[in-house]
């Protein structure tokens, strides 16, 4: 199929893009990597009258060290997230996750901002934003506002962004010393959307007890899903097999709400979530312990 006709604009600055978006409002769509929008246009699921191409906005393609956090521009390509040395150093969970996001050919175009604005419940990047406590900056006209990750994701393919807003920047606090982390997923083939996936982030105290834990799941509901009760059950605990088993059971049986799809029933997704929770927590624990000994 071929896309319906549209008028094409390629602004050179964010201000120009915002002016265009303001002018065309609901008629317009922003084009980032196009790896989700263009398939939808090819199928004519999306038929925007106006396309505002953000690919010339070099000002939104950056990874910046704020000394304690990293800021990443919305138009930063997924492929860059995979190899950026600052990200590898301060946000190793993000680096570890990237090869799971589609195929290299897709990551060469797809952007961080595009993936987050698209808000696919099967996507990895929204999960990582929740796991790492990101906040997201949106601009409309001259105004800007910050949105926390849990407030940003509103449900199936839905975010808190207003039609006249552009997501411009994502800020992520460094994963400090003593942090353990892991991301794992099960997908039919490398690069496919996963059937189930889990990010685990834990913080150990000096005695090696878990101070704080966060477990976030993809394909587990209408958006990225934090298993709050399971995460809470781990704080203050020794992360032994029984604590880990309890968290895995709580998350997979009581908290996640998988829909099932062509390749997996909800029961199978729960089974995967259970197993992946155990594995990610064990790896996170090993990594946190190693960090502490250094």
Partner 1 sequence: MKSTNSISVSVNGQVHEREVESRLLLSDFLRHELGLTGTHVGCEHGVCGACTIQLDGEPVRSCLLFAVQTDGHSITTVEGLAEDRDHLHPIQQAFWEAHGLQCGYCTPGILMTMIPFLEQNPDPSEQEIRKALSGNLCRCTGYQHIVDAVSLAARKMKAINSGS
Ligand X SMILES: Cc1cc2nc3c(=O)[nH]c(=O)nc-3n(C[C@H](O)[C@H](O)[C@H](O)COP(=O)(O)OP(=O)(O)OC[C@H]3O[C@@H](n4cnc5c(N)ncnc54)[C@H](O)[C@@H]3O)c2cc1C
Site residues, partner 1 (CB under 8 A): 1-10, 34-35, 38-39, 41-43, 51, 53, 55, 79, 102-106, 108-109, 189-192
123 binds ligand X (CB under 6 A): yes
Contacting residues for 214 by C-beta, under 8 A, at least 6 apart:
130, 131, 199, 200, 201, 202, 226, 231
**DSSP character string of 59-86:** GG--EEE-SSEEEEETT-BHHHHHH-HH
What is the x/- site pattern for ligand X, positions 131-170, by CB under 6 A? Answer: ------------------------------x----xx---
Under DSSP, is residue 197 helix (H, G, I), strand (E, B) or coil? strand
**Distance (Å, rounded) from C-alpha 214 to C-alpha 131?**
6
**Distance (Å, rounded) from C-alpha 244 to C-alpha 144?**
41
Short-list 37, 6, 12, CA closest to 114? 37
225 binds ligand X (CB under 6 A): no
**Distance (Å, rounded) from C-alpha 53 to C-alpha 84?**
24
- Cβ 90 to ligand X shortest distance, Å: 21
- Cβ 110 to partner 1 shortest distance, Å: 9
Short-list 68, 67, 94, 100, CA closest to 81? 94
Which of 117, 132, 210, 213 binds ligand X (CB under 6 A)? It is 117
Residue 105 interaction partner, one of partner 1, ligand X, none, beta carbon < 5-8 Å per kind: partner 1
- Cβ 113 to partner 1 shortest distance, Å: 17
What is the x/- site pattern for ligand X, positions 20-39, by CB under 6 A? Answer: ---------xxxxxxxxx-x
The residue among 100 and 252 lying less far from ligand X, judged by its C-beta, is 100
DSSP state of 194: P
- Cβ 102 to partner 1 shortest distance, Å: 8
Residue 115 interaction partner, one of partner 1, ligand X, none, beta carbon < 5-8 Å per kind: ligand X
The residue among 31 and 225 lying less far from ligand X, judged by its C-beta, is 31
Residues of this chain, 186-215, that bind ligand X according to CB under 6 A: 192-193
The residue among 41 and 251 lying less far from partner 1, judged by its C-beta, is 41
Q: Is 73 exposed, middle or buried (0-12, 13-18, 19+ CB in 10 A)?
A: buried
Which of 114, 121, 197, 258 binds ligand X (CB under 6 A)? It is 114
Residue 108 interaction partner, one of partner 1, ligand X, none, beta carbon < 5-8 Å per kind: partner 1
Residue 107 contacts residue 82 (beta carbons within 8 Å): yes
C-alpha to C-alpha distances, 24 to 49, 162, 164, nearest whole angstrom: 9, 14, 9
Short-list 213, 216, 236, 215, CA closest to 224? 216
Please name the residue that has the structure tokens 């992360």: 239
Instruction: Considering only the stretches 63-71, 100-108, 173-181, 220-228, report the one whose residues sit in contact with ligand X under the rule CB under 6 A.
Output: 100-108
Binding site for ligand X (CB under 6 A): 29-37, 39, 74, 78, 101-102, 106, 109-111, 113-115, 117-118, 120, 123-125, 161, 166-167, 192-193
């Amino acid at each position: 199929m071929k896309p319906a006709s549209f008028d094409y604009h390629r602004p050179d600055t964010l201000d120009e893009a915002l002016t265009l978006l303001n002018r065309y409002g609901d008629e317009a769509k922003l084009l980032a990597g196009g790896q989700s929008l263009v398939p939808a246009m090819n199928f004519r699921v999306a038929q925007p009258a106006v396309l505002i191409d953000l690919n010339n906005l070099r000002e939104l393609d950056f990874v910046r060290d704020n000394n304690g956090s990293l800021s990443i521009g919305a138009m930063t390509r997924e492929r860059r997230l995979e190899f950026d040395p600052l990200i590898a150093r301060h946000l190793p969970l993000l680096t570890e996750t990237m090869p799971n996001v589609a195929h290299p050919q897709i990551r060469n175009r797809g952007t961080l901002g595009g993936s987050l604005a698209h808000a696919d419940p099967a996507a990895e990047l929204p999960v990582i934003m929740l796991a790492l406590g990101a906040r997201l900056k949106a601009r409309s006209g001259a105004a800007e506002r910050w949105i926390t990750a849990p407030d940003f994701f509103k449900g199936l393919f839905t975010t808190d962004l207003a039609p006249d807003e552009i997501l411009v920047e994502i800020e992520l606090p460094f994963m400090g010393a003593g942090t353990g982390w892991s991301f794992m997923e099960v997908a039919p083939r490398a690069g496919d959307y996963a059937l189930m996936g889990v990010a685990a982030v834990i913080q150990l105290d000096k005695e090696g007890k878990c101070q704080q834990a966060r477990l976030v799941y993809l394909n587990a509901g209408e958006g990225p899903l934090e298993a709050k009760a399971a995460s809470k059950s781990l704080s203050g605990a020794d992360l032994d097999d029984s604590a880990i088993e309890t968290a895995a059971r709580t998350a997979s049986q009581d908290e996640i709400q998988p829909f099932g799809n062509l390749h997996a029933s909800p029961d199978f997704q729960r089974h995967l979530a259970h197993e992946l929770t155990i594995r990610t927590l064990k790896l996170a624990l090993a990594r946190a312990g190693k960090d502490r000994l250094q």
